[in-house]
Structure 1
Amino acid sequence: MTEPQITDSHCHLDFPDFDGERDAIIDRAVAAGVTRMVSICTRMANVETVRGIAEAHEPVFWAGGLHPMSVADHPPVSADDLIALARHPKFVGIGETGLDYHYTADSAEAQQASLRTHIAAARETGLPLIIHARDADADMARILSEEYRNGAYSCVMHCFSSSAELAKAALDLGFYLSMSGISAFPKSTELREIFAAAPLDRILVETDGPYLAPPPHRGKRNEPAYTAHTARKGAETMGVDFATFARATQENFDRLFWKAAEWRAAA
């Protein structure tokens, strides 16, 4: 019996952790039922590398933006820059962007401006916004809501591990929550309760590889194949069988990342 198909909606295949092994890593993912991967470019300087990986590997798509933790020490990205990237046939999302006050609260104002720029590009292109949020729940909910009132856009809260309040704010706007390996950690009971209360048709899965490997690989390098472990825990959390959960998250991904779905349909 073949494994149900799932998608790693967020990983970083350009990171040096994967150097010399990318072909094998992508092959292992496909063997585990992970038939698509979205590799995220976090700085404009890395665009050529991330784009090249997507062009070289059929299952790999890409997205790009300026990570909030890099806002202070990298040139700002413009909406036009992001819109230009979106012309690539395998470019499927805007970001990751967002707010991170855990280590980089001193750049909060610049992060907020960058976030609004990314939202403008998501609105213009129709591509989903990919949000990183850490220790900034109130500002995140406020800005997402303010900007949505200025014009609708779609969004995924990547690697969601924030409060129930931010989850509700995002879901109320029609956004999606993505489960990472954190949701499979034994002590993540409260986080699993947030996901269990969310609609199944708003859930995605991801690795954020090379970070945050789920059990039984916790503490080791994460890779797209391990999305299957998170997805199995996700099925348990949502109270459905694995095949049902996999099918739902595939449909959710196709709905949100419509450009990747169209590529698959045309392949």
Structure 2
Amino acid sequence: MPFVQSNGIRLYHDSFGDPDAPPMVMVMGLGAQLLGWPEEFCELLAGRGFHVIRFDNRDVGLSQWLDDLGDVDLPGLMSGDLSTVRYRLSDMVDDLAGLIGALGLAPVHLVGASMGAGISQQLAVDSPELVRSLASIMSTTSDRSVGQSTLEDPAALAVPPGADRATAIAAEARLHRVIGSPGGETSDEELTRRATVAHDRAHHPAGMFRQLAANATAPDRTEALRTVRVPTAVIHGEDDPLVNVSGGRAVAAAVPGAELTVIPGMGHDLPEFAWERIVDAVVANAARA
């Protein structure tokens, strides 16, 4: 079945490749569904000898939505009021641990992107017995002095709450144009197609804002990352406007023995021109385990 119970909630997942191959779990970022890991990208990893599992985090996609917890007061959050933070990043770490346990996968190769990499980093700190190797893509340590956005107002790029279908799709496509890779131009038609598929599968902005609050209140992991002993690859776009490459450099500096790959022309996405290089880095790191 595509659903499992984990940490008291229901998570949706799918997979690629031989179920008897070493498991590789893909953890996507803020507000993104498992569609953020393109099928073709997952097939590349599966073709290199892994059983690739991707899933929807809580509050997005086909996993359980937590609307009963209430909305986030975003202006209040930005001014330091944490009273409407509905759950923490640690809860999403527990979701991941529960998924691995429910599917009987441990230990796994973990590949996380953006907030998903933060979740993966923390699992490697908290539960090293569950993790065989770690790949952290376009992320940071949650140290607020690194990885800052170079965009003037990232919050302004969010899909407007209550927007109709056409407006929401256009806003999502525009967001990915702004944060995407300048080194590999994706057509407006393709960005609109992806936004349409994601919207029609599961459009849930309230969940994205609850995830945002969880990520925004995550503690600095720098010192904790110094305890990580699994092979670690850190991959970051040199031209990432949402999470500056200094965030990736900080992760690599914190984790003992981590190997850093910086990809010119890559922004805050997984551009097709970089797939082979990303896959090579992930696979080489898994081999170190």
TM range (shorter): 0.3 to 0.5
TM-score with structure 1 setting the length: 0.35
TM-score with structure 2 setting the length: 0.33
Higher helix share: 1
